[in-house]
Amino acid sequence: MTRVHNFNAGPAALPLPALERAQRELLDYDSTGMSIMEHSHRGKAFEAVHDEAISLVRQLLDVPDDYHVLFLQGGASHQFAMVPLNLLPPGKSADYILTGGWSEKAYQEAGRVGTVRIAASTEVDKRYTRIPRQEELQLDPSAAYLHMTTNNTLFGTQWHWLPDTGNVPLVADMSSDFLWRRIDVRRFGLIYAGAQKNIGPSGVTVVLARKDLIDGGRKDVPVIFRYATHAASNSLYNTPPTFAIYLVRNVLAYTVETGGLDEMERRNRHKAGLLYGAIDERPDFFLAPVENESRSFMNVVFRLPTEELEKRFVTEAAREGMVGLAGHRSTGGIRVSIYNAIEVTSVERLVEFMKAFVARA
């Protein structure tokens, strides 16, 4: 078996040991004579897995006790609707900062639920190449919440500071940089993240939410859409995606084993440093659209002088076992997603390839 170097943007590569563990126990979980996915979600075996997954998130991020940790279904796109359905009552308005395609979608979906306002946008000609500065934000001090996208998967930008929102709860879509390093959870009212980039397979979304915020959420919406419902039943209101949660457990347990988030941040900074280093060495060939201070540590995007060269780059890299390098269909170019599971050695291989590619181009 040869595993490739997988730079997919999501669903993305998972740590091999987490997959090997799943493979080993796929037919017989912990000598119970069945797969974890054949266990009842209300039985002891799954309960232990579920509890472990929650406490790993709590441990890794130092989640304060007055925050819930929920595992929900529907993806981040489902949260685009669930956030305003819970936190945006009639008569109030919510602020959105637009920094990419996903924040646009979050904003548009919220607009179908209630009143929304753009607090800032860095869009120029349908492209986003930077994160705004605090002084550019036009915050509504009475907003129900302020929504931001901490890492912009399509455009390769990332927030490296947090807006000061006063008393307005900060809501963050962290789908593509959740757990890439420590954060101060207290700065947020609610965080959500689809698992399929940094911490697991698709099919499960992690939500961290301040208890008072969601307890005070709207009651005039279907029970299944209320955070309070899922919080009150520890994400067991209905059948959770048990196998996806089990895999998140495997990934997070492995993260702790390999040194936790400090080590993760060190590796992630090192990987991004290697790539941006290679790009900056040949600015005539690797065209980086993103402003330096806004560069993402998760999705490194660049263009080559011609689309023809971009195609060759992707094809020739694939031939050498490096896949997932084509930019998003809406942006084109090259995108290298280097989430937590991507090994430093994979990035080193790619950097070598980039150098050789320039040399022969």
Ligand X SMILES: Cc1ncc(COP(=O)(O)O)c(C=O)c1O
Chain centroid offset of residue 65 CA? 23
By CB under 5 A, residue 297 contacts Mg ion: no
Characterize the bridge pairing of strands 151-152 and 123-124.
Answer: unpaired
Does 99 count as an annotated binding residue?
A: no
Q: Interface with ligand X includes 176 (CB under 6 A)?
A: yes
What tokens appear for 289 in the block? 């659209």
Binding of ligand X at residue 296 (CB under 6 A)?
A: no
76 binds ligand X (CB under 6 A): yes
Q: What is the phi-psi region of residue 320: left when phi exceeds 0, alpha when psi lies from -120 to 50, beta otherwise?
A: alpha
In terms of CB distance, is 43 or 64 closer to its own copies? 43
Q: Exactly one of 238, 306, 315, 330 binds its own copies (CB under 8 A); which one?
A: 238
**Who's near 351: CB < 8 A, 6+ residues apart?**
274, 275, 277, 278
Per CB under 8 A, does 244 bind its own copies?
yes
What are the CA-CA distances from residue 354 to residues 13, 270, 321 (Å)?
21, 17, 14
Q: How many helices (H) and strands (E) does the chain have?
A: 10, 15
Q: Binding marks (x or -) toward ligand X, 79..108, rule CB under 6 A?
A: -----------------------x------
| Type of residue numbered 33 | G
Q: Which stretch binds its own copies (CB under 8 A): 72-80, 131-139, 185-193, 309-317?
A: 72-80
Of 325 and 351, the one with the shorter C-beta distance to ligand X is 325
Q: How far is the CB of 265 from ligand X (least distance, A)?
A: 19
Site track for its own copies across 75-114, x = CB under 8 A: xxxx-xx---x----------------------xx--xx-
Q: Which of residues 204-223 bind its own copies (CB under 8 A)?
A: 204, 220-223
Distance CA 255, CA 33 (A): 28
Cα separation, 142 vs 150, in Å, equals: 22
Question: Per rule CB under 5 A, is residue 201 in the interface with Mg ion?
Answer: no
What is the 3-class SS of 210-261, one letter each residue?
A: EHHHHHCCCCCCCHHHCHHHHHHCCCCCCCCCHHHHHHHHHHHHHHHHCCHH
Partner whose binding site includes residue 169, from its own copies, Mg ion, ligand X, none (CB under 5 to 8 Å by kind)? none
- When the beta carbons of 296 and 346 are compared against ligand X, the nearer one is 296
Q: Among residues 341, 49, 345, 347, which one has the least CA distance to residue 179?
A: 341
Region from 73-81, 228-236, 245-253, 348-356 binding ligand X, contact rule CB under 6 A? 73-81
The DSSP string of 157-205 is EE-SS----TTSPEEEE-TTTTTSS---GGG-SEEEEETTTTTS-SS-E
Which residues are near its own copies by CB under 8 A? 1-4, 6, 8-14, 16, 19-20, 22-23, 26-28, 32-35, 37-43, 73-78, 80-81, 85, 108-109, 112-113, 194, 196, 201-204, 220-225, 237-244, 247, 321, 323-324, 329
Site of interaction with Mg ion (CB under 5 A): 10, 100-102, 152-154, 239
What is the set of active-site residues? 102, 173, 197
